[in-house]
Amino acid sequence: MPLSARFSDALTFACELHATQTRKGTDIPYIAHLLAVASIALEHGASEDEAIAAVLHDAVEDQGGRATGDQIRRRFGEPVAAIVHACSDTDVEPKPPWRARKETYIAHLEHAPRSVLLVSASDKLHNARSILTDLRSHGDALWSRFSGGRDGTLWYYRTLAATFLRRLPGPLADELDRTVTALEQLAA
């Protein structure tokens, strides 16, 4: 499926929104994560709207809340905005407590449409891969980057993997499950 100028516009918008942001505890430009999530989603059959949502999936949560969501709706349409909103665990500042946000997010995945599950699973797979790579490089010091620490982060990703295995069975959920298992084994 060829991507149109809308996807290019979404990339540009994501670059503008996340220009000064880096991945937790690294110097890696945040756009690398957004590109990876879009790539994973496209490799698993994403439509253009889903790919655009993948590029913008953290925009509401990290770069402006509801106002950014409104911009996404105007520029890219309701379907994209709905996916982005559903992939956000909050649109308010300050953010609610970590564990409550994560429990609410997991619960909402039980009824989320396939488009949301695809983008969210792509995001979580890239995050889990990054955590695994960094754990191999930095050891247990890595866990200080995360609000949930070691135990909370492992709980969150195991619960996500189980949810996606049930709700979005197939190669993407299987890969997330394998990655989380490797993470758990290395963290043990």
Active-site residues: which are they? 61-62
DSSP 17-39: HTTT-B-TTS--BTHHHHHHHHH
Specify the length of the chain in residues.
188
Q: What's the angle, vertex CA 48, arms to CA 4 and CA 86, rounded to 5? A: 140
DSSP 86-144: HT-S--SSSPPPHHHHHHHHHHHHTT--HHHHHHHHHHHHHHHHHHHHHHHHHGGGGGG
User: Cis peptide leading into 94, omega within 30 of 0?
Assistant: yes
